[in-house]
Homo-oligomer: A and B are copies of this chain.
């Protein structure tokens, strides 16, 4: 089941908060920024932020929380990061330790929350710009893959890029590159196009998919950096406890995508802090 495209971000968060929505946010609340989430102990926050800044297409920082504070008012006055995502992934000493629908019992006074843009956010922008996302009409969704591209290491954080792939006809691929380049806070332009084997990807063998995925003969696979990437980097740094969004279960924010056009990844503080 797909979350309603026309549900307001606040309404979707309220559903998730009550445990009434535990599904993917793909296609949900079209027109609003969706964010990846990573929550780490403060001792790791500096290194993780350095890693994000070294890899702006992977983790374009949007806003960072205060230590111990589960709120993020810059992205929505009512946001509670312990409950407002429809799903969380938990990592203990870098190893996956299951999923949860809320993480209130795990919250700690030294947790720092990092949010960065998600490619779900730009599908609506692409549609408005006339890009034909034929895979949606075929009832398909993007898939994610582990690539042989490597993120730039920082502190203890390192690891391969996870990429999301969308199959597009050549003219639509060109337009999608032009459009997403103007939204660096939602991953920006793709990291790869065509030639999946060049980055170690077999399109028929995704790591995860939100549905059926196929690349037609007249299409090119187009690959964007994916916000699942930090879940592998976290394995390297291995903090005792870390919480992320569950893949495809995003924080839906009150930030309209239209306000992020040409907004660049900041050098100093995250742009929406």
Interface residues of A (CB under 8 A from B): 170-171, 173-175, 177-178, 181, 189-195, 198, 218, 220
A232 to B: closest C-beta gap in Å: 21
A220 to B: closest C-beta gap in Å: 5
**B174 A194 Cβ-Cβ under 8 A:** no
Q: Give which listed residue, B178, B191, B194, B198, contacts A177 with CB less than 8 A.
A: B178
**A189 B178 Cβ-Cβ under 8 A:** yes
In the bound assembly, the distance between CA atoms of A189 and B129 in angstroms comes to 15
A18 to B: closest C-beta gap in Å: 42
Known A-B contacts A178-B177, A178-B178, A181-B181; the reply to A170 vs B194 at CB < 8 A is: yes
Residues of B within 8 A of A174 (CB): 177, 189-193
**B193 A193 Cβ-Cβ under 8 A:** yes
> Which residue of B is nearest A178, CB measured?
B181
A92 to B: closest C-beta gap in Å: 36
A-B contact pairs, 29 of them (CB 8 A): A170-B192, A170-B193, A170-B195, A170-B198, A171-B191, A171-B192, A173-B193, A174-B177, A174-B189, A174-B190, A174-B191, A174-B192, A174-B193, A175-B189, A177-B177, A177-B178, A177-B181, A177-B189, A178-B178, A178-B181, A178-B189, A181-B181, A193-B193, A193-B194, A193-B220, A194-B194, A194-B220, A195-B218, A195-B220
